[in-house]
Amino acid sequence: MKSDFISLVSHELRAPLTALNGGLELAMQSAETLPPKARDILEIMTAESRRLTDFVQSILDVSRLEAGKMDVAPGPVAVRPLVEQAATVVLASNQRDVDWHIAKNLPPIWADETYLEQVIRNLIRNADKYSTEEYPIHICASQQGEQVRISIKDHGPGIAPEDQSHIFDRFTRLQNDERAPSGWGLGLYLGQKLVAAQQGSLNVDSPLWDDPRDPGSEFYILMPIVQTPEDEL
Amino acid sequence: MPALLLIDDDKGLTQLLSEYLIGQGFTVRIAENGRLGLRAMFERHPDLILLDVTMPEKDGWETLQRIREVSDQPVIMLTARGDESDILKGFSQGADDYVTKPFSFAQLTARIRAVLARSAQGGAPGEGTLSAGGLKVDLSLKRVWRDGEILSLTPTEFKLLVALMRREKEVVSPEDLVREVWGAQYANETGHVRRYIWHLRQKVELDPENPRYIHNERGYGYRFETSDSSSAR
């Protein structure tokens, strides 16, 4: 009932959000002619409107998934280009170092490349948000039997064992103080559901490092490798 | 100056969108429901119709049906529903494109220009389309049809097919395919190309064991050729 209500409200927000975003787009066209203060206000409104749009989109994705209406279109996916693309998009605007460990000759995995990239982007964004810039993000991929393991490790505050069981719940945010990075607590929930819809799994391991000053978390995805009849290739 | 007809009952959106589109060099006529939209279409003969799905007094689907009974003017559907089944329904009823709310005005403008460019070519295969032996690829919509039936390809499969079709009758090496689909930096990672081709054939070919479109040239690569087709353009 509650979920239906949220879904309905989110759905109804899509039309006014189009007008709101479009109006801001229109106003931004003449932003150069505005006083600096008005331009700043317009830019803040644009950023906030985009954030609200992303939130509504996440809610709709969640409700579609829960209703079994999310159309997953799987196919063979090359891991290295997908992960590198995700990292490029998320980290394009900052100086964050990435420590890459992608095994050579990884077999393609069976996944929906659009949704999987969305999940990986979210994990990289989280790793970036929750750890200081002096440390790199570690991105690894390797074959484990009939699966490929893709992991994103950070040097952030880590996740206490008692919190790890509900980190993937809806609207869960472990840090709610003023210093907490912005977010809605939907990314991991949606990520785990999306990966599960592709016959994979998303899990967490924490702490990671021996130094208690940078305990860190590792989120890892296990995806099945592509099954192709060898005699037909 | 291309003339657009915007059929949508959302007054705030139509006012802002028409102002934006006029600024982009279009003329815009607004109709607030399907009935008035049909009347405006008969009176004005617009170059393209933007049609909202959810409206009182003849919804978008019913209006589209009536438009298609008498006209082949290009139609872009605007909707708050983004399910794949809705998109497929739109295309099967004769929509030329489909944009989901919330969309950016700039994005919609680009789609309008793409559909108008296709329409100016008389719907015949042109720069935005590849066609061979019953297979049709729309490069801007990123859609593929086989004998009128829409096929569900992943973005990578779509790029692979396009790479082969653009060089119809030529043998394309795995290295060239990788360079074109994933990028030059992955040119040495050709080991799994045959798996991608195998899966692409499962979707594109009616009988994958006796392919009509994608042929192996053992030791050299792959060739797209249909025995009964004119050249892919």
In tens, the pLDDT along A94-117 reads 888 999 999 988 999 999 999 999
Q: Which chain B residues are within 8 Å of A114, Cβ to Cβ?
A: 154-155
Numbered residues of chain B with Cβ closer than 8 Å to any chain A Cβ:
10, 12-13, 16-17, 19-20, 23, 80, 82-85, 101-106, 152-157, 182-183, 186, 189, 191-192, 194-196, 198-199, 209
Task: Please provide the DSSP assignment of A21-61 as one string.
Answer: HHHHHHHHHTGGGS-HHHHHHHHHHHHHHHHHHHHHHHHHH
**How many angstroms away from the CA of A113 is the closest CA of chain B?**
7
Residues A45-49: what's their mean pLDDT?
A: 91
% residues pLDDT > 90 (chain A): 51
Q: Which chain A residues are within 8 Å of B153, Cβ to Cβ?
A: 75
Q: Is the pLDDT of residue B161 over 90?
A: yes
- If asked whether residues B88 and B182 sit together in one domain, one would say no
Number of domains making up chain B = 2
Nearest CB among B10, B23, B192 relative to A19 is that of: B10
- If asked whether residues B173 and B65 sit together in one domain, one would say no
- If asked whether residues B110 and B210 sit together in one domain, one would say no
* Mean pLDDT (chain B, rounded): 89
- If asked whether residues B68 and B106 sit together in one domain, one would say yes
Task: Please provide the DSSP assignment of A157-210 as one string.
Answer: S---HHHHTTTTSTT--S--STTSPP--S-HHHHHHHHHHHTT-EEEEE----S
- If asked whether residues B30 and B135 sit together in one domain, one would say no
* pLDDT at residue B117, as a whole number: 86
Domain that holds residue B83: 3-120
Examine residue B229 and state whether it is found in any structural domain, yes or no.
no
Examine residue B97 and state whether it is found in any structural domain, yes or no.
yes
Q: Which chain B residues are within 8 Å of A80, Cβ to Cβ?
A: 186, 189
Examine residue B233 and state whether it is found in any structural domain, yes or no.
no
Token couple for B174: 């795995």
- If asked whether residues B138 and B32 sit together in one domain, one would say no
- If asked whether residues B105 and B146 sit together in one domain, one would say no
Task: Please provide the DSSP assignment of B77-125 as one string.
Answer: EEES---HHHHHHHHHTT-SEEEESS--HHHHHHHHHHHHHHHHTTTSS
- If asked whether residues B16 and B110 sit together in one domain, one would say yes
Nearest to A143 by CA among A98, A104, A85: A104
Q: How confident is the model at residue B93 (pLDDT cuts 50, 70, 90)?
A: confident
* pLDDT at residue A131, as a whole number: 87
Residues B165-188: what's their mean pLDDT?
A: 93
Examine residue B231 and state whether it is found in any structural domain, yes or no.
no
Nearest CB among B103, B198, B209 relative to A18 is that of: B103
Across A74-94, b (16+ Cβ under 10 Å) vs e yields: bbbbbbbbbbbbbbeebbeee
* Residue of A171 and A109 predicted with greater confidence: A109
* pLDDT at residue B233, as a whole number: 47
**CATH code, domain carrying B178:** 1.10.10.10
- If asked whether residues B94 and B150 sit together in one domain, one would say no
